[in-house]
Structure 1
Amino acid sequence: MAAEGYEEMSGNGELEESSATEASEATASPRAEMAEMSEENGGPAVAPDVSVRPDPVSFSMPPPAEDDEGELPADFERLWKAAHDNPQDFTGWTDLLQYCEQESHITASRRALAAFLTRYPLCYGYWKKFADLERRAGFNNKAEEVCVQGLQAIPLSVDLWIHYINLLLGTLDMNLPESPSRIRSVFEDAVVAAGLDFHSDRLWDLYVEWEKEQGNMKRAVAVLDRVLKVPTQLYNTHYDKFKDQLNGQEPEEVLSTEEYEELRTLCRQTQKAERAKQAQEEEEEERPPGEEEPATPEGTDSEELMQKIREQVLLRRDKVYQDNEGEVRKRWHFEDAIKRPYFHVKPLDRLQLRAWHSYLDWEVAELNKDPKDPQDSQDPQQDPDQAATEEPEVTVQPQVDSEGAAVAHDDTRVRILFERCLIACALYEEFWIRYNQYLESQSLEEARAVFKRACEVHLAYKPNIHMQWATFEERHGDLSEARRVLEALEKTLPGLAVVRLRRAALERRAGLLDQSEALLREAVDESKENPTLHAFFSIKLARLLLKLGRNPSRARGVLQEALEISPDNDKLHLNLLELEVSGDPSAEAVQECVTRALAAALAPHTKILFSQRRLQFAEDYSNSIASVLSVYEEHQKLLKELGGTKRGAENGDEDSEKMSKSDDGSAVAVSAEVAATMAHVPITTPPPPVVGADASSQAAYGGYSSWYQQPQYGSYGSYGSYGYQNTWNYNQGYYPPS
């Protein structure tokens, strides 16, 4: 693949090395900082012709140019269909692109590249291939449009900026007066967007060399002067070049007019003071008759004065250089620990993820530290391996400008690092969520833009971040956007139950109970071909109707209809039994419910629980002892049939209190609690064995936790937890011996 900054597909499909660095999306803050630096150092502060913003969601591919190509290559449709049938298969896309390149078919290549870059916009190498394709075909304007589209997706791509600039240099008529101005504006746009990146040295060097070729040494030195404040990998080479330019030419030719005049006046005053002092020391010495004190011709500057100006310039720049060197040194071990700063579909190892987290932790901590704190001036040396596993305790030193004044440290560095991280870690939800949390306290619109980029471009098939986006919108009062996000997610991932539940819960919280019911009922109707999922949604709908709609009759109807499709689903039986028991006492309804469950193909221990619950109901609500004893005898008979001869509890203590609530809140029997409860009641025979109850019941319930990922409710506990213990067994002769 075209790995961001390091790997690129060559013409024959093999990976080849590239000296490029990683690319990332830039924010508006770096633009403001670089514009300020430009004005400080005499650089042009003009608005660039090309406005490149980090909004990959809004970019659209340029329309294909007209060509005379005939039919598409033979295997194109097959490879095209394979890529679109499985858009997450990166290999399928690269196979398609390689085939189009081998066939040299411009129409097929356009279609394949446009579709691929819509899904994988961080692969800068393919943006370059697309631009080169249009240029070779003679469509220079289309080539420029492709570069602009790519830079909107990855504004921090140094390589793509250089490719775009070289494209303009090769296609523009430099004899026209507006051409140099346009090139310069694009350079300014490039250093504003990508100039603060740690690996942006090649871009700065190209800018300097181009200004030198234009014969404007002042602009070239002004660019060098600006980069002296940027902590980059080759920071020292920029200072060496600055000194070479200063020493190789007259200061007036390389310095801005304001700084030159200021230093010239200062150095002349210094010279006069030194000469006055020297004259005072030599005033006693007599000169030969007719000889006067030598004087510098009016209007000219001596070489001594020029040398003093150079010394003053370097004295000022030394302060900036030393501070910048400290910033580079503190970041160096973090940068060295990052082994893959470019985009790739292959997973990152745990150490790389930890390295990014450590770097982000440190950069955020730098923003919040007080530069006046003595401890903040420390700069401990740290091992690169340690940097990837531990958060360093280093602090930022205040930057100083050419006048020695402190330079404010804002959150630009943090944002730049987040954007760089979201290139290498674009497929990891945790970093997008972390960036959103950082931005949310500052700007809701910026935080919303991060969710939009993540969900609509890079993580279209990751449900968790989409649901967090919906929660974000609901929390900030935009219910319509929250609905839109969840609806779009459900279209992308149809059949994911948790999304439908989130939609229903959103409507319920908004007070639209009818809409919530409609969503669940629609899910019930659409899942009839999947009995397990149908039972799951039926239980959810029944509980909504019962608990919030206060309509037991409709809830009962939902469960009964579900039992017609899934007669052996023990969760449906348990919820229907709970509905009958918790409502108005009706022995007939409970008896019918238990009879239906005992006739179904349920696990033996589940049937025993139903029989115990019926016995408890008879004990609590029956009007005659004869009916209680009748139920008791049926329970004893069932125990014998299912392999046990245990006598039931004297007072029918085996009730729904011994059940725990499942992940969806329904009553689910827990055999371990049943066994614990049975220890508190007198028995005349050993209890029936309960083997593998938890595992079998979980399997019988269909593994609903895979859809509804919420912590299970704790169990109600045994009677002993309420302090009843054996006091309930006061009448141990209540039931006759079996």
Structure 2
Amino acid sequence: MNNTSSTDIVEWNQLWHAVRENPEDFQSWEQLIRVAELTKGTTTLRNESQVETVYDSFLTKFPLCFVYWKKYADWKMDIYGEAEAEKVYERGVSAIRNSIDLWNHYCDFAQNQPGKDVRELFERAAKDVGLDFFSHPFWDKYLEYEEIHGTSSLSVLHLLDRIVVIPMHQYARYYEKWRQLRSTLLLEDALGPDVLEIQMETIKKEKCDISEDDMKKALRVRMEDDEQSVYNKTQEETNKRWVFEAEIKRTYFHVKPLDKPQLLNWKKYLDFEESAGNSQRIKALYERCLVSCAEYEDFWLCYGHWLISHEFLEEAKIAYERAVYTFLASDKFKIKIALACLLEEEDNIEEARKIYSTTLEKYPNQTETILNYIYFEGRQNSQQFEPLIKKYIDSATLDNSSKSYFIVQLARHYQQNGQSDKARDIYLSVTQQYPESKYAWLNYINFEQNYFDLKAKEEHIQLAFDKARNCKSLEPDFRADVLHRYKKYILERGLSVRLLNRVSPTLSQLSGESGIKRGATEENRYIPYPKQARYDSTPTSSANITVLASVPIPNDISSTKTDPASYYSGAHTYGYPYQAQGSYGADYYGHSAANWQG
């Protein structure tokens, strides 16, 4: 690098090598930016290009890191001027839309640019951060702008009219400012002509003959009553949310996983906001949650599911794409399947197929993705289902549990198409070929219990139960469960007490409990998907959703522990004692590692 020492060149090369070898190494990225900025003020064109490359590469990897968007914009301003700095701000607020700090910096920047429509920028920011519980730094800045540049005090009043109904941390301060301002204005200005007319008509109906002075007094009383109603309502809504806000220990993202109470609090908070039914507030809370919970697939799935259920399909697609291509590890398969299903719903078939194919190129034995891909192709052409699933059944790379699972899916396919004899033959074959498959046995039993031929029903059911409880490849507890289920079936729906009297009690005593433990469904407990790596702190309750046509992940699959990917995000400077303040890492979070919470 020109104008730099040989030591800097060596360090530059070492750090570039480090981040290329391990893109998750945030510390090396941070040091690389520091070395790049040593050239500031003495840069050649080559140096400038290198600095840009560092920032662009870093912020592509860590787009939620709002501090570095600000640093990059400042650098662009120094080197290239206003237009280039503005481009960086635009990229930044697109990457982390709910960063109050970044929007405030952008608005400060815009106010110093001649001809810039600052009010329009404030309105864009209000849409993205105005409903945040700690949005008061933004609203303070917007009010300050209106007080200086507004045409009259009415512009401030109209802004306060919007603010005082938002449940937020400092709602009472805005209420007092609003109430005091209204008290200094003429009634027609404070109330507005339409409201004033309605109020006057109401008072005249109540009091008939009323003097002008008495009318003004009555209007003032009504205005004060309305103000108190606004305050009471906002206070009530704020208090409802404070229950959840008080439990949030980390509003930014960090490599350290959130603990279970934090994740559960986010889940409860989102459930509460969804039940309240305000779409804008729900979106705002999800976006805020997905800064600190950016690596947790369940929250992305919940967000996408909510958006889809309310027909915000384009926003759902954008959310899924952010999760798949930026924030989640490549072994998060549910979110990829969800995105593929949404693309399919939009008739974007080739893009959906590409997601399945690229995933299976990297993870060729991922059972859940394979199954969803088979059904995807079956929906495009029903003739493709059988040959495709048989291809995977005959695969030399899949394990026995996956193969038996696909064989059961083929049997179900025949069931649904009224080919019961074919289905029965497959069940008999799969339980003989893979006798250890609990999933196959349960599906076989379910099939016979639901078989429509009443004359043959008892014989087939007895055969299925006999085979299962006498199969030595199955664990004693599972065979005891099968026996318990058989006895229960005979008792409730059996045709002969003779069978009931001949059910052996021996196996049922081997199990410490009687009856099959219930998960989401009995058979889901035995779906033989390969174990999928998930963060050990992710609450299972968050995953209890259905995503379009995606096959649900089994409830009994235990998680393998893995280190979370080192994605970083912006920390909101809320100006409130327990909140993390504005910067990152040990240096950039604004507090030391000893003070990290969560």
Compared CA separation, residues 160 and 429, structure 1 to 2 (3 A): same
Counterpart of 1:114 (choices 41, 44, 56) is 56
Cα pair 1:504 1:519 within 8 Å, conserved: no
Matched position secondary structure for 2:354 = helix
| Counterpart check, 1:660 vs 2:436 | yes
Deviations 1:660-702 (A, max 9, x none): 349899xxx98656999xxxxxxxxxxxxxxxxxxxxxxxxxx
Counterpart of 1:353 (choices 263, 266, 273) is 263
Compared CA separation, residues 490 and 253, structure 1 to 2 (3 A): same
| Counterpart check, 1:466 vs 2:320 | no
Cα distance, 1:494 vs structure 2: 5.3
- In structure 2, list runs of 5 or more residues that go unmatched: 41-46, 412-425, 442-469, 478-527, 534-551, 556-598
How many Å separate the matches in 2 of 1:207 and 1:342? 24
Compared CA separation, residues 711 and 359, structure 1 to 2 (3 A): closer
| Counterpart check, 1:85 vs 2:21 | yes
Aligned counterpart, 1:131: 73
Deviations 1:115-151 (A, max 9, x none): 1222221121111111111112242111111111111
How many Å separate the matches in 1 of 2:213 and 2:346? 73
How many Å separate the matches in 2 of 1:710 and 1:192? 36
- In structure 1, list runs of 5 or more residues that go unmatched: 1-66, 278-303, 368-409, 525-532, 549-578, 583-654, 677-702, 713-738
Cα pair 1:470 1:482 within 8 Å, conserved: yes
Cα pair 1:155 1:193 within 8 Å, conserved: yes
Matched position secondary structure for 1:80 = helix
Cα distance, 1:475 vs structure 2: 7.0
| Counterpart check, 1:512 vs 2:384 | yes
How many Å separate the matches in 2 of 1:658 and 1:169? 71
Aligned counterpart, 1:445: 314
**In structure 2, what residue type is equivalent to 1:331?**
R
How many Å separate the matches in 2 of 1:328 and 1:222? 21
How many Å separate the matches in 1 of 2:167 and 2:235? 7
Deviations 1:325-356 (A, max 9, x none): 11111111111111112222321110100000
How many Å separate the matches in 1 of 2:336 and 2:94? 23
Cα pair 1:503 1:519 within 8 Å, conserved: no
Cα pair 2:360 2:370 within 8 Å, conserved: yes
The structure that is helix-richer by fraction is 2
Aligned counterpart, 1:417: 285
| Counterpart check, 1:141 vs 2:77 | no
| Counterpart check, 1:365 vs 2:307 | no
| Counterpart check, 1:226 vs 2:162 | yes
Aligned counterpart, 2:98: 156
Aligned counterpart, 1:481: 351
Aligned counterpart, 1:213: 148
Counterpart of 2:325 (choices 440, 446, 456) is 456
| Counterpart check, 1:430 vs 2:367 | no
Cα distance, 1:250 vs structure 2: 4.6
**In structure 2, what residue type is equivalent to 1:414?**
I
Compared CA separation, residues 275 and 341, structure 1 to 2 (3 A): closer
Compared CA separation, residues 275 and 338, structure 1 to 2 (3 A): closer
Cα distance, 1:431 vs structure 2: 0.6
Aligned counterpart, 2:122: 187
Deviations 1:437-493 (A, max 9, x none): 2222221433333222211221152233213433555577654333111233346x4
Matched position secondary structure for 2:10 = coil
Aligned counterpart, 2:519: none
Compared CA separation, residues 487 and 96, structure 1 to 2 (3 A): farther
| Counterpart check, 1:325 vs 2:235 | yes
How many Å separate the matches in 2 of 1:263 and 1:664? 71
How many Å separate the matches in 1 of 2:554 and 2:339? 21
How many Å separate the matches in 2 of 1:657 and 1:116? 53
How many Å separate the matches in 2 of 1:87 and 1:99? 17
**In structure 2, what residue type is equivalent to 1:194?**
V
Give the total of aligned pairs: 429
**In structure 1, what residue type is equivalent to 2:50?**
A
Compared CA separation, residues 313 and 82, structure 1 to 2 (3 A): same
Compared CA separation, residues 515 and 134, structure 1 to 2 (3 A): farther
How many Å separate the matches in 2 of 1:95 and 1:154? 23
Matched position secondary structure for 1:448 = helix
Aligned counterpart, 2:11: 75
Compared CA separation, residues 274 and 80, structure 1 to 2 (3 A): same
Aligned counterpart, 1:46: none
How many Å separate the matches in 1 of 2:375 and 2:22? 32
Matched position secondary structure for 1:512 = helix
Cα distance, 1:218 vs structure 2: 1.6
Cα distance, 1:275 vs structure 2: 7.9
**In structure 1, what residue type is equivalent to 2:68?**
Y
Percentage of matched positions with identical amino acids: 29
Compared CA separation, residues 159 and 663, structure 1 to 2 (3 A): same
Aligned counterpart, 1:241: 177
Compared CA separation, residues 264 and 416, structure 1 to 2 (3 A): closer
How many Å separate the matches in 2 of 1:356 and 1:710? 22
| Counterpart check, 1:96 vs 2:6 | no
Cα pair 2:366 2:530 within 8 Å, conserved: no
Compared CA separation, residues 514 and 77, structure 1 to 2 (3 A): farther
Compared CA separation, residues 326 and 505, structure 1 to 2 (3 A): closer
**In structure 1, what residue type is equivalent to 2:290?**
L
Cα distance, 1:222 vs structure 2: 1.6
Cα pair 1:93 1:116 within 8 Å, conserved: yes
How many Å separate the matches in 2 of 1:422 and 1:78? 33
Cα distance, 1:421 vs structure 2: 1.4
How many Å separate the matches in 1 of 2:170 and 2:553? 51
Runs of 4+ in 1 over 6 A off after TM superposition: 67-72, 263-272, 517-521, 662-665, 707-712
**In structure 2, what residue type is equivalent to 1:431?**
F
Cα pair 1:658 1:673 within 8 Å, conserved: no
Higher relative contact order (CA closer than 8 Å, sequence separation 6+): 2
Matched position secondary structure for 1:337 = coil
How many Å separate the matches in 2 of 1:540 and 1:355? 40
Cα pair 1:222 1:255 within 8 Å, conserved: no
The two structures have a TM-score, normalised by structure 1, of 0.49
Matched position secondary structure for 2:436 = strand
Matched position secondary structure for 2:210 = helix
Matched position secondary structure for 2:169 = coil
**In structure 2, what residue type is equivalent to 1:80?**
W
Compared CA separation, residues 519 and 165, structure 1 to 2 (3 A): farther
The two structures have a TM-score, normalised by structure 2, of 0.59
Aligned counterpart, 1:530: none
Counterpart of 1:166 (choices 83, 96, 108) is 108
Cα distance, 1:308 vs structure 2: 7.5
Aligned counterpart, 1:339: 249
Cα pair 1:231 1:325 within 8 Å, conserved: yes
Compared CA separation, residues 275 and 195, structure 1 to 2 (3 A): closer
Cα pair 1:658 1:670 within 8 Å, conserved: no
**In structure 1, what residue type is equivalent to 2:110?**
L
Following superposition of structure 1 onto structure 2, how do residues 677-696 of structure 1 map, counting pairs within 5 Å? Answer: none
Cα distance, 1:189 vs structure 2: 1.8
Matched position secondary structure for 1:231 = coil
How many Å separate the matches in 1 of 2:300 and 2:186? 49
Matched position secondary structure for 1:348 = coil
Matched position secondary structure for 1:94 = helix
Deviations 1:557-609 (A, max 9, x none): xxxxxxxxxxxxxxxxxxxxxx9x98xxxxxxxxxxxxxxxxxxxxxxxxxxx
How many Å separate the matches in 2 of 1:254 and 1:463? 57
How many Å separate the matches in 2 of 1:70 and 1:253? 67
